[in-house]
Chains A and B, each alone.
Chain A
């Protein structure tokens, strides 16, 4: 199958590079390469996984090039020139050709063009939150679980305190107090401003709104890490007592080596699945925070914010905005959820065995 061949060539590309760097690597890791091939096969055989992966890939492309190919700049308030442009309903050619296909938003801008910016913002935020929050939580959980004693107690108390708040409430609290500070920071620090604006596809001029966006980001990372810390700590506690850890200790490995080379790989599979699902959750969470008004305001076309504005005219005039942007958010989250579902099946050794059998049978028959 096409998907399988794509992944297989990627695997061999990677293996080839590693071999170039350190010769003999392929020989030593041949069983690991085989594992990867099997996982790629299992993935290619899962319609859910391939669908999810494709969706994520498409969203990624749109997020990457969106701000560049958008045909309308987000910073122009069209309604200043023409009041009637506000919330124009969708218009399909060939029946009607004078208005944007999916209609306009509060400021008369083409909703479809705005969504291209929206992809970038939502995608970046969701990925970075999980990629920052998860490792933070994982490392803390590893240390707490492995060291035990007072370190464990302190870390657990702190996570308990953070987990005592429903995520949204804590995020609301942080996201509302941080913008002031961050705005100040962005004012002074030009490098940060340039980099972050480019990252989100915004102009530097909107650094005030960027500050709000960054605050959401921070707030979410703060909300995200305790969950991972708890889970990893639990896994570490059960793995810690196993004989092979004792053997590693006896052979003189340092704590860090044991943590990263022996314990982490064993607790990692469910965490990877969790992270995939979390990216979907983070996408919706960020949109919800913007919806509540804590994120960037106009002119930044953040998806949740646009929906909240449309909500005021719902359902008389703005149904199309809610439906269209809602579907976009749904697609983004659904892609990751499907991917996570498929990954969970792949990484579960039991189901993988079944797939292995099928592969061998296919090879023979």
Chain B
């Protein structure tokens, strides 16, 4: 495992060998086992995988948002702050972490309705987020700022909406409000966890457009979690494919989509139906996602892999380079 243990010049985040476990009554769940990735300034990185593959846990672990019975066992999360200082988010003090959260790293959660406190207005949410990090701002000023933010995320009549409560808005507007709240301190990194899954398809497109534009405007790095490959193709620069708590393939979007090397990636791409072609039956990947309480030894995909060899059953494959920026974790690539 030859990972870089320092932050590259134009990198804003680098996660190294992250391991997260959950100690439940049913046993120890190995949710994330040795995941590494990085995000460059201004680029959009996608984390792709089925439900339960560990994408959400990984991103929450970045700012130590994991709560009991979960525990971050080991790893490094290197982050370059606004003042150019590089810190390991897993090791800094609680107070410093609090300064970074919502300020330099922001989150957008999957369900906008439950992310908002139903007893407070949108404007108040923004006011809170701003004043948590900048002390001397008056309510009037944050109100004006909030209206501007809401306008930026394309919410009509923002002066009215800023005083609305969450239940007075539609799903799309709520999600846009959540984006506005997250962006209120102009973070360097935005982590968006399936931001459009709960929305109508038409709204999805709008939100994605929005996110792309704002990314350019604020020069933010984005980590986008999704299981929708179409969104990945539209929005991301690079992609990491995850399975059962590990990264199985990583690379530029074009590379992974046009030249997938890991059997899982290939099966995944094949299962997306082409609306222009007539198909007899839908492709799926046979088998089930393994239980992470006792993950299979060796390569975690081997029980479902049509090309599994003897070695796959016993040993966990390391990363093998395919081309520049394109790597996969599969023994089939060893011959080269």
Q: B72-120: which have CB < 8 Å to A?
A: none
Q: B1-47: which have CB < 8 Å to A?
A: 25-26
Query: A334-364 CB contact bits vs B (8 Å, 1 = yes)?
Result: 0000000000000000000010011000000
- On chain A, the residues within 8 Å of B25 by CB distance are 354, 357-358
- On chain A, the residues within 8 Å of B26 by CB distance are 354, 357
- On chain B, the residues within 8 Å of A358 by CB distance are 25
Question: Which residue of chain A lies nearest to B27 when distances are taken between CB atoms in the complex?
Answer: A357
Rounded to whole angstroms, the CA-CA distance of A357 and B25 in the bound complex is 8
Q: A305-358: which have CB < 8 Å to B?
A: 354, 357-358
Rounded to whole angstroms, the CA-CA distance of A156 and B275 in the bound complex is 54
Question: Which residue of chain A lies nearest to B26 when distances are taken between CB atoms in the complex?
Answer: A357
- On chain B, the residues within 8 Å of A357 by CB distance are 25-26
Please report the number of residue pairs spanning A and B whose Cβ atoms sit closer than 8 angstroms.
5
B23 to chain A, nearest CB (A): 14
- On chain B, the residues within 8 Å of A354 by CB distance are 25-26
B324 to chain A, nearest CB (A): 48
A359 to chain B, nearest CB (A): 12
A296 to chain B, nearest CB (A): 51
Residues of B within 8 A of A (CB-CB), count: 2
A248 to chain B, nearest CB (A): 29
B292 to chain A, nearest CB (A): 15
Residues of A within 8 A of B (CB-CB), count: 3
Rounded to whole angstroms, the CA-CA distance of A354 and B26 in the bound complex is 7
A42 to chain B, nearest CB (A): 13
Rounded to whole angstroms, the CA-CA distance of A357 and B293 in the bound complex is 13
Rounded to whole angstroms, the CA-CA distance of A113 and B25 in the bound complex is 50
Q: B223-264: which have CB < 8 Å to A?
A: none
B238 to chain A, nearest CB (A): 39
Query: A244-259 CB contact bits vs B (8 Å, 1 = yes)?
Result: 0000000000000000
Question: Which residue of chain B lies nearest to A357 when distances are taken between CB atoms in the complex?
Answer: B26
A307 to chain B, nearest CB (A): 46
A6 to chain B, nearest CB (A): 26
B69 to chain A, nearest CB (A): 12
Rounded to whole angstroms, the CA-CA distance of A357 and B26 in the bound complex is 6
Rounded to whole angstroms, the CA-CA distance of A120 and B163 in the bound complex is 62
Rounded to whole angstroms, the CA-CA distance of A354 and B24 in the bound complex is 9
B28 to chain A, nearest CB (A): 13
Rounded to whole angstroms, the CA-CA distance of A358 and B25 in the bound complex is 8
A99 to chain B, nearest CB (A): 55
Rounded to whole angstroms, the CA-CA distance of A358 and B27 in the bound complex is 11
Rounded to whole angstroms, the CA-CA distance of A238 and B134 in the bound complex is 45
Query: B143-171 CB contact bits vs A (8 Å, 1 = yes)?
Result: 00000000000000000000000000000
A63 to chain B, nearest CB (A): 39
Rounded to whole angstroms, the CA-CA distance of A354 and B27 in the bound complex is 11
Question: Which residue of chain B lies nearest to A354 when distances are taken between CB atoms in the complex?
Answer: B25
A156 to chain B, nearest CB (A): 25
Question: Which residue of chain B lies nearest to A358 when distances are taken between CB atoms in the complex?
Answer: B25
Question: Which residue of chain B lies nearest to A356 when distances are taken between CB atoms in the complex?
Answer: B26
Rounded to whole angstroms, the CA-CA distance of A2 and B26 in the bound complex is 25
A352 to chain B, nearest CB (A): 12
Rounded to whole angstroms, the CA-CA distance of A354 and B25 in the bound complex is 7
Rounded to whole angstroms, the CA-CA distance of A358 and B26 in the bound complex is 8
Question: Which residue of chain B lies nearest to A360 when distances are taken between CB atoms in the complex?
Answer: B26
A333 to chain B, nearest CB (A): 32
Question: Which residue of chain A lies nearest to B25 when distances are taken between CB atoms in the complex?
Answer: A354
Rounded to whole angstroms, the CA-CA distance of A358 and B24 in the bound complex is 12
B248 to chain A, nearest CB (A): 30
Query: A173-211 CB contact bits vs B (8 Å, 1 = yes)?
Result: 000000000000000000000000000000000000000
Rounded to whole angstroms, the CA-CA distance of A286 and B26 in the bound complex is 46
A143 to chain B, nearest CB (A): 31
B272 to chain A, nearest CB (A): 29
Rounded to whole angstroms, the CA-CA distance of A357 and B24 in the bound complex is 11
A364 to chain B, nearest CB (A): 12
B122 to chain A, nearest CB (A): 28
B44 to chain A, nearest CB (A): 38
A255 to chain B, nearest CB (A): 34
B26 to chain A, nearest CB (A): 5
Query: B179-215 CB contact bits vs A (8 Å, 1 = yes)?
Result: 0000000000000000000000000000000000000
A91 to chain B, nearest CB (A): 52
A31 to chain B, nearest CB (A): 22
B294 to chain A, nearest CB (A): 13
A310 to chain B, nearest CB (A): 50
A158 to chain B, nearest CB (A): 32
Rounded to whole angstroms, the CA-CA distance of A155 and B330 in the bound complex is 68
B171 to chain A, nearest CB (A): 19
B304 to chain A, nearest CB (A): 25
B321 to chain A, nearest CB (A): 43
Rounded to whole angstroms, the CA-CA distance of A316 and B294 in the bound complex is 69
Rounded to whole angstroms, the CA-CA distance of A357 and B29 in the bound complex is 14
Query: B123-146 CB contact bits vs A (8 Å, 1 = yes)?
Result: 000000000000000000000000
Please name 5 pairs of A and B residues whose Cβ atoms are closer than 8 Å in the assembled complex, sorted by A. Answer: A354-B25, A354-B26, A357-B25, A357-B26, A358-B25
Residues on B facing A (Cβ under 8 Å): 25-26
Closest 5 pairs (CB-CB, A-B): A357-B26, A354-B25, A357-B25, A358-B25, A354-B26
